[in-house]
Each structure stands twice: as C-alpha cells, then as structure tokens.
C-alpha cells in the first residue's frame, strides 16, 4: 500500500512539474504582440466585427493552435490565413493561441 501511495505521489509531482513547465513556455504578452495583425479581421480583443470572420476570444488554446498549424502546413486553406500562418513559429502559434484563449468572449 505504501509503495502505491508513493508511486501515486511521484506521478502527481511529475504532472505538476510538467504543467508548470508548459505554463512557463507561454507568453501572453508576446501572444498579444504577435496577434496585432490578426485584429484587423478578428477584432483587437478577439471579437470579430464582420460576421464572415470568426471571433477568437475565449476559444480553446489547443483548438486555435491546431488550426494555425493546419493553415501553416497547408492541410487547411484560406487565402489570407494560409499566407499569414506560414510565417509563424511554433512559439508564436502557442503564444497567440494562449492570448486569444485568455480573452473574454463577451462583447
């Protein structure tokens, strides 16, 4: 029983350390800065002003990152997004996605 408890505690500690490391890798400030160009279509705070563009505020960071990577690698295509995403690094994608996920989706 003690061995199981120790193993469980060890695994929980590893999980917390991994979460902390992942949080350290995200920079909301850098995401906000990188997302400036996105604001012309998706709104400066992630709420699109035009119905044909999706609002990004409050969306899942994982979902947004997946979509940006898809635009970047060509598995998803859009005349504007594909061009913009091609120039994004992995860190920029993570930061932009985290920035939009941190915003309120209320108008």
C-alpha pair distances (Å), 14 with each of 11, 25, 65: 5, 17, 25
Ranges of the chain whose pLDDT falls below 70: 1-24, 107
Q: Do residues 65 and 94 lie in contact, with contact meaning Cβ atoms separated by under 8 Å?
A: yes
Residue with the two structure tokens 């490391």: 21
User: In whole numbers, what is the pLDDT of the chain averaged over residues?
Assistant: 84
Q: Is residue 19 part of a domain?
A: no
Tell me the per-residue pLDDT of 35-66, one tens digit each, with 9 for 90 and over: 999 999 999 999 999 999 999 999 999 999 99
Q: How many domains does the chain have?
A: 1
Q: What is the CATH number for 77?
A: 1.10.760.10
Q: Is residue 39 part of a domain?
A: yes
Q: Do residues 55 and 43 lie in contact, with contact meaning Cβ atoms separated by under 8 Å?
A: yes
Q: Is residue 38 part of a domain?
A: yes
- Helices 61-73 and 90-102: crossing angle in degrees, nearest 10, is 140
């Amino acid at each position: 029983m003690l061995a199981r408890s120790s193993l469980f505690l060890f695994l929980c500690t590893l999980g917390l350390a991994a979460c902390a490391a992942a949080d350290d890798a995200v920079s909301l400030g850098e995401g906000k800065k990188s997302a400036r160009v996105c604001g012309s279509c998706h709104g400066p705070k992630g709420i699109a002003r035009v119905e044909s563009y999706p609002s990004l505020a409050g969306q899942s960071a994982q979902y947004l990152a997946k979509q940006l990577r898809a635009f970047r690698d060509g598995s998803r295509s859009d005349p504007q997004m594909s061009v913009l995403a091609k120039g994004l690094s992995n860190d920029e994608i993570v930061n932009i996605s985290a920035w939009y996920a941190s915003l309120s989706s209320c108008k």
